Amino acid sequence: MKIAFFDYPVTLAEPPKTGGIRLVSYALALRLARAGHEVLFYGSKGHYQELEYHEDGIIYRRIPESWLDKVLEPLNFLDSWNLSNPKRPFYASKLFFCEFYRQVAKDIQAQQCDVIHMNIVFQFVPLMRAYNPQAKIVLHIHSDFLPLFEPVMVEQRLKSVDLVIGCSDYLINQVRKYLPHVKSQTIYNGADIHHFTIPNDNHNREAKKKDTKQILFVGRISPEKGVHVIIDAFNKVVSRYPQAQLKLVGSENALVPWYTLDREDPQIQNLLPYYQGSYRAQLQERIASTAASSVFFLGKVPHFELFEYYQQADIFLFPSVWNEAFGMPIIEAMSMGLPVIATRGGAFPELVEDGKTGLLVERGDADALAEAILRLLVDDNLRIAMGEAGRRRAVEKFDWDHQAQKLLHQYHAMMNSFT
C-alpha cells in the first residue's frame, strides 16, 4: 500500500524534533513503513536543496515555496485582527496556502498513492479528490474545531472524504453528532512506551519517597493550557509543602491564537485577559514570593529529551482550561510511571482513570488542583501506586504500535469497500 501524509505547509519534510500533530503523523508513518508499506510525507522545502529525502523507510517530499502563497499570506491577519467571519475564517478557506496543497495533490497523483492521510486542513479534501479520484482520503482531526465553522461549508468540503479519524472518543462523538453521514473512527494518539519507560524495581520505588518532590508540566506556555492555574495552585502548595518544586517545560512563543478557540465556552471567555500583553510576564507576576525560588521555566525541549524530566518528576500536571481533544504528554508521563493530575474535560477522562491512575479536577479550579497535588505529595504509597497503574494503562491502551495496527485495519477496510 502506498500512503501519503501531510499537514501544514510550515511543517518541514523531515523527522520531527518536537511533539504535537507532526509527531502523530511521524509515529504512525514510521510503523506503517516498518510493516512494509510505502510511506510518503509532504512538507515544506525550507533551506534544503534536495526535493526528496529518505529516512527510516519514510520518503520525505519537499514542496518549494510559491509566489502565490507568499502574496496571499498576509490575509492571515484577517483572522488575527478579527476582521474575518469567525464561521468562515481565512485559515479554513481554499486560499490558505492553496498553491502548496495544489502541488501536494499533483505530486500524490504522480506517485499514484492508494491512501491520502491529511491532517486538519479539511477544506482541501475536494482538491485532493479532483487530482486523485481513485485514492482513499482520510481526514485526521486533532481538536474540536469543525463545529466552529458553518455546517454547510464543512459538509460541502467533506462530501468526498472516505473516513474521518479523531484522536479520542470525545472528538469522534462530536463529529458523529455534527456530521452523522460521514464515516468516522477513533484512533488514539500514543506514546513510545519503549523510550518513555523506567526500571520497575524497589530502588526506583524508594527514590520516589524522597522529601523534595518535583511537579512537572510539559506543554505550551499558553493560556488554554492553564499554566496560570498551575501557578496559583503551586502558591498554595508551597505554603503547606515548602520543599516542592515546579518545573514547566514548553515553548513560551507558541500561544494558540484566540480566534481558534471556542469563544462560547465560559472557561475560554475567562482567558481573554491573558491575551492582553505578555502571558509569560503575567505568570511571573503571579508567583508568590514564597514560591519564587521553586518555580522553573525550562523552555522548549526536544521531544526525545523529555525523558529525563519525566524521570526526575514525582507528579505530572496537565490542567487544560479548554476541552482538549487528547494530550500526549499525559500518556508519556503515564508511560514513565507518573501519577497524572488533569482536568475533567474533553478527552482527559478517557486517558486518566480518576482515583486509579491519577486525579481529575474541574477546569480552572486552582484550589482543587492544589488539594490534588498535596494529596499525592504527602502519600508516597498512593502516588507510586497510581504511577504504576498509569504505566500499565499506557502499555495496554496507548502504545503507538497498537494505534498503527488499528489505523492499518481502517485502511484495509476502506480499500476493500466498494461504496
Q: Which three cell numbers stand for residue 31?
A: 510503523
- Domain positions in the chain are 2-190+399-415, 202-397
Q: How far apart are CA 112 and CA 355, in angstroms?
A: 50
pLDDT at 211: 75
Per-residue pLDDT at 31? 96
Check if 2-190+399-415 and 202-397 are the same fold: yes
- Mean pLDDT to the nearest integer, 288-315: 94
Average pLDDT over residues 397-403: 95
Cα–Cα distance, 105 to 94 (Å, whole number)? 13
Alpha-carbon distance of 275 to 260, in angstroms, equals 13
Among 78-87, 148-157, 322-331, 352-361, whose mean pLDDT is lowest? 78-87
State the Cα–Cα distance between residues 168 and 191, nearest whole angstrom.
Answer: 14
Q: Is the pLDDT of residue 298 over 60?
A: yes
pLDDT score recorded for residue 223: 95
**The domain over range 2-190+399-415 is classified in CATH as 3.90.180.10:** no
Q: Is the pLDDT of residue 419 over 60?
A: no
Q: Which CATH number fits domain 202-397: 3.30.470.30, 3.40.50.2000, 1.10.10.10, 3.40.50.12660?
A: 3.40.50.2000
User: Quick one: pLDDT at residue 205?
Assistant: 57
DSSP class of residue 57? T
Mean pLDDT value across residues 66-95: 92
**What pLDDT does 186 receive?**
97
Is 326 a residue whose pLDDT tops 90?
yes
Q: Helix crossing, 366-378 with 380-397: angle to 10°?
A: 100
pLDDT at position 282: 95
List pLDDT tens digits, range 30-80.
999 999 999 999 999 988 889 999 999 999 999 999 999 999 999 999 988
* 201 has pLDDT over 60: no
Kindly tell me if the per-residue pLDDT of 336 is higher than 70. yes
| Residue 258 pLDDT exceeds 80 | no
The 10s digit of each residue's pLDDT in 213-241 is: 999 999 999 999 999 999 999 999 999 99
Q: How far apart are CA 277 and CA 364, in angstroms?
A: 20
**What size, in residues, is the chain?**
419
